[in-house]
Structures are given as C-alpha cells and as structure tokens.
Amino acid sequence: MKQKYKRLNILLIFMIAIGSTIFFVLKALEEKIVFFYSPTEILNKEISLSELIRVGGLVVDNSIVFDSSGLEVLFSITDKKNILRISYKGILPDLFREGQGIVAEGSIDKGKKVFLAKKVLAKHDENYMPPEIEKMIRN
C-alpha cells in the first residue's frame, strides 16, 4: 500500500512539473512569437505600432537609397501587388540586392508609411526563397 502511494506521489510531481512547464512554454510562445506579413497585409490589417513583426518581399529595382551619412538605408519591397518602404540602419546582408527575396524584422511607423527595420535577413543561397515569400508571390 505504501509502495503505491509513493508511486502516486512521484506521478503527481511528474504531472505538475510537466504541466507547469507546458504552461510557461505556451505563455512564452504567446508573448514571443513574431508575426509575418506581406506588404498588402500591412496595408489592410490592424497592427499596433510597438509590435515586433516581420515583413517580406522582393527588393524593388532602383529603390535602394542611402542617406548622406551612409548609415541609414531606405528601400522598398513588394509582393507584386503593393509596395512597402523600409528604413534600416546597419550593414545589409551579403546577398541583399535588387530582385532578391528578403525578410525584415522591426515595427511599423505611424500612418503605415515606413517600416522601421531592426534586422534585415537575406539567405545564404541565391536560389533560395523564404517559404513565406514564395507562398505570398504564388497567391
């Protein structure tokens, strides 16, 4: 009988441990996930100004402009329906170029005019297209 209680206790501790882990993990997931939007979705959806989001698209030809200091760059991305202007401070990835599919992480400015990017990601492989962008362009 004692043996059984012991097992039950251990099982109970196990369940509580697993349960609380899952609870905290899901809570962390809920807080830390970053949503991905296309330029069209940015225009049509309610997105709060402070929220960290990702946007993706193809870099528009002849859209890359540096400011006079050279540290800040402005460029546009498109999903072939709408265009989104992006401002970014920093070194662009090696594979960043016109026509390339890129993903930017940051937040949207007031009036949804400019996306303030904290990170710009382009991929290792020139043939590679992020799955989100591929899906977006296919639609």
Local structure of residue 23 (DSSP, 8 states): H
Nearer to another protein, 3 or 50 (CB): 3
Q: Among 113, 107, 87, which Cα is nearest to 35's?
A: 107
Can residue 73 be called a binding residue for another protein (CB under 8 A)? yes
- Minimum distance from residue 33 beta carbon to another protein (Å): 5
Give the C-alpha separation, 52 to 12, whole Å: 39
Given candidates 16, 18, 43, 49, which one binds another protein under the rule CB under 8 A?
A: 18
Distance CA 117, CA 110 (A): 14
When asked if residue 23 is in the footprint of another protein (CB under 8 A), the reply is no
**Per CB under 8 A, does 127 bind another protein?**
yes
- Binders of another protein among 38-57, rule CB under 8 A? 54
| Residue 130 binds another protein, judged by CB under 8 A | yes
Contact with another protein (CB under 8 A) among 1, 4, 5, 29? 29
Nearer to another protein, 114 or 121 (CB): 121
Interatomic CA distance for residues 139 and 137, integer angstroms: 5
Please name the helix (run of DSSP H) or strand (run of DSSP E) that holds residue 131, with its range, or none. Answer: helix 131-138
